[in-house]
């Protein structure tokens, strides 16, 4: 297949591109390197040292003999986007190319507006480009479980059957997004659903949980092929943050009570879920939603798991409860359905001591690159500032 990966230089996009290339697909990447620009903006850096995209692709070809084509540009630039799609004529577009951090979107006015324009306009451009150039192409779009919020009922996969005043219908599941970032994802979902209905586009919306892990079979072939690993307060996901904090003897930063429950998924499973969606495409005019996670944990449970694993390795780990900078329920019901990808063949890698130990091992290797000043939370949902 011809597969175009938008955001192919990122944490998820890069190992996904390598995986599909290794499987024999014709892979192309679009990226504008905005993610690297956020590091420059705040003085952050990936814990793992990462080569630039052209160096990565050259190294991949040297290691495997397989080529990946690169298109450098911004999907909010419609002429660029259409030129890239005309060039590669993809069977599938995998869309990772969005600003993906809730804290980033809550810094202040500029970051909120940028997040919504970048994400919503980029996806809308892509929908128009698919309609005009490759109308039978399958769009696989990375969504988020954060679209749903934390309702006091089971979360279904995208849609829910409603009985009201004696009538019945299947409607999109109600959305309660918790940040301007999550709001942008809701807008994306609505736009995609609409375009499938009126233009006959094929689309799969992958509402993904929190991803953890850093290594795949492809990235460990050469240190220069590794993907990024974020641990800072803006882009670092909770499990990766806790693991980094453990190896530098920093207390684990649990926000509030720590009862915030979310879905989690291993990086290997995230890539496999994308593959399952690609190999089993939506029908013409079909808008599918898959809840892409494998397990549910609350924040305190994760902190305790990391603490136990670290202490077995001789670490001294404390758990600190900080005033929660976010506006969210800290104790709540949470039960989300996630069967569709299992039905397609997903065999999950559940979180275990072994997996946490492997994350520790990678982080220990690059321990001297940790900047502890980037760990404490400064972005406050209640006090937008435009600066960190």
Which residues have a catalytic role annotated?
144, 181, 185
Instruction: Tokens for 170, please give them.
Output: 């299947």
- The CB-based long-range contact list for 153-157 (8 Å cut-off, 24+ gap) reads 153/333, 154/335, 154/336, 154/337, 155/291, 155/334, 155/335, 155/336, 155/337, 156/337, 157/207, 157/289, 157/290, 157/291, 157/337, 157/338, 157/339, 157/340
Q: What span, in angstroms and rounded, lies between the C-alpha atoms of 29 and 75?
A: 12
Residue of 346, 352, 368 lying closest to 309 (CA atoms): 352
Give the relative orientation of helices 180-199 and 122-133 as an angle to the nearest 10 degrees. 20
Report the C-alpha gap between 382 and 138 in whole angstroms.
39
Return all residues near 37 (Cβ < 8 A) that are at least 6 apart: none
Question: Token pair 């291993």 is at which residue?
Answer: 266
- Give CA–CA dist 207/18, Å, rounded: 22
Q: How far is the C-alpha of 13 from the C-alpha of 35, rounded, in Å?
A: 12
User: How far apart are the C-alpha atoms of 60 and 8, rounded to whole Å?
Assistant: 14
Q: Supply 343's token pair.
A: 């039905």
- Give CA–CA dist 60/190, Å, rounded: 37
Helices (H), the chain: 13-22, 34-42, 53-64, 78-88, 102-105, 109-116, 122-133, 180-199, 238-247, 267-279, 299-312, 340-344, 353-365
Of 12, 53, 63, residue with least CA distance to 269: 12
């Amino acid at each position: 297949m011809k597969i175009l990966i938008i955001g192919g230089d990122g944490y998820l996009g890069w190992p996904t591109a390598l995986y599909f290339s290794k499987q024999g697909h014709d892979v192309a990447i679009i990226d504008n390197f905005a993610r690297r620009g956020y590091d420059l903006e705040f003085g952050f850096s990936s814990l793992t040292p990462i080569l630039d995209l052209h160096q990565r692709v050259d190294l991949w070809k040297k290691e495997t003999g397989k080529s990946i084509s690169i298109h450098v540009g911004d999907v909010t630039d419609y002429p660029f986007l259409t030129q890239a799609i005309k060039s590669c004529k993809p069977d599938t577009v995998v869309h990772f190319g969005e600003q993906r951090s809730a804290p980033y979107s809550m810094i202040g006015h500029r970051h909120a507006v940028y997040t919504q324009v970048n994400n919503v306009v980029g996806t809308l451009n892509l929908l128009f480009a698919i309609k005009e150039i490759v109308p039978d192409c399958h769009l696989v779009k990375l969504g988020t479980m954060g679209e749903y919020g934390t309702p006091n009922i089971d979360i279904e996969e995208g849609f829910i059957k409603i009985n009201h005043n004696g009538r019945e219908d299947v409607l999109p599941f109600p959305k309660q997004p918790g940040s301007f970032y999550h709001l942008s994802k809701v807008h994306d979902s609505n736009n995609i659903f609409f375009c499938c209905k009126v233009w006959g586009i094929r689309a799969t919306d992958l509402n993904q949980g929190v991803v953890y892990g850093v290594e795949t079979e492809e990235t460990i072939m050469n240190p220069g092929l590794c993907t990024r690993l974020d641990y800072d307060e803006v882009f670092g996901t909770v499990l990766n943050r806790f693991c980094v904090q453990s190896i530098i003897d920093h207390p684990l930063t649990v926000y509030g009570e720590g009862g915030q429950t979310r879905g989690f998924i291993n990086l290997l499973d995230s890539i496999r879920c994308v593959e399952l969606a690609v190999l089993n495409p939506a029908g013409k005019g079909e808008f599918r939603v898959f809840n892409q996670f494998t397990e549910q944990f609350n924040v305190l449970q994760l902190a305790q798991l990391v603490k136990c694993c670290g202490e077995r390795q001789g670490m001294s780990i404390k758990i600190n409860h900080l005033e929660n900078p976010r506006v969210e329920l800290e104790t709540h019901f949470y039960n989300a359905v996630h069967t569709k990808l299992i039905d397609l063949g997903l065999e999950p890698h559940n979180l275990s001591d072994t997996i946490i130990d492997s994350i520790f091992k990678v982080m220990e290797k690059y321990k001297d690159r940790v900047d502890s000043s980037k760990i404490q939370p400064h972005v406050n949902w209640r006090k937008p500032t435009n600066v960190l």
